[in-house]
Amino acid sequence: MNCSNKLGLTIICILLSCFGTTRAEDVGARWGTEDREREYYPIVNLPIPQELVIEAGAFCALPDGKIAVGTRHGEIYIVSGVDQKKPNPSYRLFATGLDEIFGLAYKDGAFYVTQSCEVTKVSDTKHRGKADRFETISDAWGYSHYHEYAFGSKFDDKGNLYVALGLSYSYESHALFRGFAMQIAPEGKTRAIASGLRSPAGIGPNEQGALFYIESQGPWNCSNSLKAITPGSFHGHPASFNWYKYTPEMGPVPEEPKSGSKIIIEKERVKQLVPYAVVFPYIRMGRSITGFTVNHSKGKFGPFEDQIFLGDYTLSIIMRATTEQVNGVWQGACYPFREGLSTGILNVIFTEEGNLLCGGTNRGWPVRGVKPFALERIDWNGKMPFEIKKITITPEGFQIAFTKALESVKALDPKSYKISTFTHPYHAGYGGPEIDQTTPVVKNLELSEDRKTVQLKLDKLIPGHVYDFDLDGLTSAEREKLLHKKAYYTLNEIPKQK
C-alpha cells in the first residue's frame, strides 16, 4: 500500500507506538511563557495556497536562498520568498510520486531523498524546472510494512549520507537492518554503522559536527533523547541483533541488556552500548521530539549560536540543546525555547537570513497546534532575552552561562538555585518512571567579572542522573525574571581535575 494513500494512519502509528497514550492534560502541558516569548521571537506564518497540502517532513536549503520542502505525501516543492518581512511565498512543484520524505539533501543540482524503502537521486536533466529522472542510490535495507520509517541526513564533508531506520511497529525488526543506522558513500556503497535504534525521528550533526540522532520514548527508552552515533555502537534496543550476521563491519553481537537495570550500569557490561547524550524529560521537555538543526546564523538568531534546535510534534514547540564530550562520552543539556506553533512539528531549518523555518502536520494524533499543516518562521527581533544560555559540567559541579548580567546578591545566594536529580530504569517496558531522586546541596558559588557566568560547586555529582535546574530565584541586573527558568543536564561522565 502506498504510504501517501494511508492518510492519518502513518502519523497515528509513528506517534502511537513511539510516544504512548495521551492524556489531555499532557498535550496541554506548557511552559507558560508564550506571551513573553513573542516579545523576542515572533512567529510569522508563511501562507500556503488553498489548493496545496504541504505536510513538511524534510527541508533543504538551496544555493539561491530558496528552500526545498519534502512532504509526507512524497512531493518536493521549491519555495521562494521564505524570508520576506511580510511573506507571500511562491511554491513550485518539483517532484511527485515519492513516498514519505523524512530526509532531503542537495548536491550538484540533484536532490537525494530518503524514503522508507530507499535513498533516491532526483534530477531535472532537461532543465525544465521539474524532476524527470529518479535513480536508486541505496536500497540496502528491508521495507515490509508502512510503519518502518527512514530518516535521512545531509551530506557530511566526505560526501556520505546517513539513514536512521525505525523498527517494525517500533517494537521488532522483521525487515533487513531495521533498527540500524546506515552510512551511504558517494558511490552508493552502504554499510551499517550502529544498531539498537528504536524509533528515530531525525539524524545529523551536532554543533561540533559529530553524528547524532533523535530517539523516541518507548521500550528501552524511558524518555526522548539525543544520542551520539559512532561506528559499531549499540543504542539500547536489542531487536536488531538478528541482522549482525550480515554486518561483519559491526563486530560481534552485543551482550543482551538486562531489563530492569540502569544504563549507567549496563554500559559497563555491554561494551557497545552508548548512553543518552541528552535526555528530554517527558512532557516537561516535549513528548515526541522530531527533526533538529544547528544554528550557524552568525548571530542573526540571537545569543544561541552553535546550538541545536529541535521540534516536538505533540506539543507544537521548539527546544534548544547543547552537547559536550567528557572523557570520550557525549552529554549535555536541553532548554525550553518557543511554544505556540500552529501544528505538530516534524522538521526545522535555518534560512539564509537566519530565521528558523518550522513545518509539519497534526494529522492522526492529538496535537496542541490546531492547523492540519503549516509552515511558520520564528524570527529574532533584535531584543535580547534574559535566558539560561548554556550549562556545562565541571569537576565539582556546573558552569551556567546567561545571556545578560545577573543581579549579584541573588546570584551569590545558594537559595536561588533549586537543583534536583533523577534517573530512569533501563528496561524493555514502554517508557518508565523517574527514580532515585536526589537534591544536591550547593556548597560554593563564584560569579564571573561580567556577572554572566556562575560556577556552582555541589556536594556530589552522580553519573547516570539528569540534573533538573530551576533558577526562578535569579534576576538580571535590570531585575528581569528569566524568560525560561528551567534546564536539564544529562550527566554521564565527570571531568577530571586539572
Q: Are 323 and 413 members of one domain?
A: no
The CATH number covering residue 417 comes to: 2.60.40.1220
Residue 451 lies in a domain: yes
Asked whether residue 22 carries a pLDDT value surpassing 80, the answer given is no
Residue 383 lies in a domain: no
Residue 496 lies in a domain: no
Band (25; pLDDT cuts 50, 70, 90): very low
Q: Which one of 324, 349, 378 terminates a domain? A: 378
Q: E strands, 85-216, where?
A: 90-95, 104-107, 110-114, 119-123, 133-138, 150-152, 161-165, 181-184, 190-195, 203-205, 211-215
Q: Tell me what pLDDT residue 30 has.
A: 61
Q: Tell me what pLDDT residue 262 has.
A: 97
Q: How far apart are CA 78 and CA 67, in angstroms?
A: 6
C-alpha radius of gyration, the chain, whole number: 22
Residue 427 lies in a domain: yes
Q: Which one of 378, 400, 434 terminates a domain? A: 378
The CB-side HSE value for 407 (13 A sphere, CA atoms) comes to 17
Q: Tell me what pLDDT residue 356 has.
A: 98
Asked whether residue 4 carries a pLDDT value surpassing 50, the answer given is no
Residue 244 lies in a domain: yes
CB contact at 8 A, 150 and 115: yes
What's the pTM? 0.94
Q: Are 402 and 374 members of one domain?
A: no
Q: Tell me what pLDDT residue 33 has.
A: 86
Q: Tell me what pLDDT residue 34 has.
A: 85
Q: Are 85 and 170 members of one domain?
A: yes
Residues 342-381 have pLDDT tens digits of 999 999 999 999 999 999 998 867 899 999 999 999 999 9
Asked whether residue 23 carries a pLDDT value surpassing 70, the answer given is no
Asked whether residue 14 carries a pLDDT value surpassing 60, the answer given is no
Q: Are 338 and 452 members of one domain?
A: no
Residues 176-202 have pLDDT tens digits of 999 999 999 999 999 999 999 999 999
Q: Which one of 335, 353, 378 terminates a domain? A: 378
Q: Tell me what pLDDT residue 498 has.
A: 82
Q: Are 216 and 311 members of one domain?
A: yes
SS (H, E, C) 194-241: EECCCCCCCEEECCCCCEEEEECCEECECCEEEEECCCCEECCCHHHH
Q: Tell me what pLDDT residue 12 has.
A: 36
Residue 295 lies in a domain: yes
Q: Are 62 and 40 members of one domain?
A: yes
CB contact at 8 A, 102 and 214: no
CB contact at 8 A, 215 and 274: no
Q: Are 52 and 158 members of one domain?
A: yes
State how far the alpha carbon of 165 is from the alpha carbons of 6, 40, 116, in Å: 20, 37, 8
Q: Tell me what pLDDT residue 17 has.
A: 38
Mean pLDDT, the chain, integer: 93
Q: Tell me what pLDDT residue 440 has.
A: 98
Q: What is the DSSP letter of 372?
A: S
Round to the nearest angstrom and report the end-to-end CA distance of the chain: 60
Q: How far apart are CA 393 and CA 379, in angstroms?
A: 30
Q: Are 254 and 359 members of one domain?
A: yes
Q: How many structural domains does the chain have?
A: 2
Residues 431-462 have pLDDT tens digits of 999 999 999 999 999 999 999 999 999 999 99
Residues 91-136 have pLDDT tens digits of 999 999 999 999 999 999 999 999 999 999 999 999 999 999 999 9
Q: Please list the residues that pair with 345 across neighbouring strands.
A: 360
15: cell is 506517534
Q: How far apart are CA 302 and CA 295, in angstroms?
A: 10
Asked whether residue 171 carries a pLDDT value surpassing 90, the answer given is no
Residue 497 lies in a domain: no
- Spatial CA neighbour of 350 closest among 361, 358, 338: 358
CB contact at 8 A, 91 and 137: no
Overall average pLDDT of the 72-83 stretch: 97
Residues 390-399 have pLDDT tens digits of 999 999 999 9
Q: Tell me what pLDDT residue 473 has.
A: 97
Residue 211 amino acid letter: L
Q: Are 416 and 270 members of one domain?
A: no
Residue 62 lies in a domain: yes
CB contact at 8 A, 467 and 417: no
Q: Are 181 and 256 members of one domain?
A: yes
Q: Tell me what pLDDT residue 363 has.
A: 81
Residue 331 amino acid letter: Q
Overall average pLDDT of the 272-295 stretch: 97
281: cell is 524529560
Q: How far apart are CA 110 and CA 123, in angstroms?
A: 5
Q: Are 107 and 142 members of one domain?
A: yes
314: cell is 505533540
The CATH number covering residue 48 comes to: 2.120.10.30
Q: Are 353 and 216 members of one domain?
A: yes
Overall average pLDDT of the 291-296 stretch: 98
Q: Tell me what pLDDT residue 32 has.
A: 75
Residues 58-74 have pLDDT tens digits of 999 999 999 999 999 99
User: Measured at the alpha carbon of residue 205, what is the angle toward residues 188 and 14, in degrees to the nearest 5?
Assistant: 80
Band (18; pLDDT cuts 50, 70, 90): very low
Percent of all residues in the chain with a pLDDT value above 70, rounded to a whole number: 94
Asked whether residue 20 carries a pLDDT value surpassing 80, the answer given is no
Q: How far is CA 420 from the centre of its chain?
A: 24
Q: How far apart are CA 72 and CA 101, in angstroms?
A: 6
Domain coverage including residue 403: 388-491
CB contact at 8 A, 206 and 294: yes
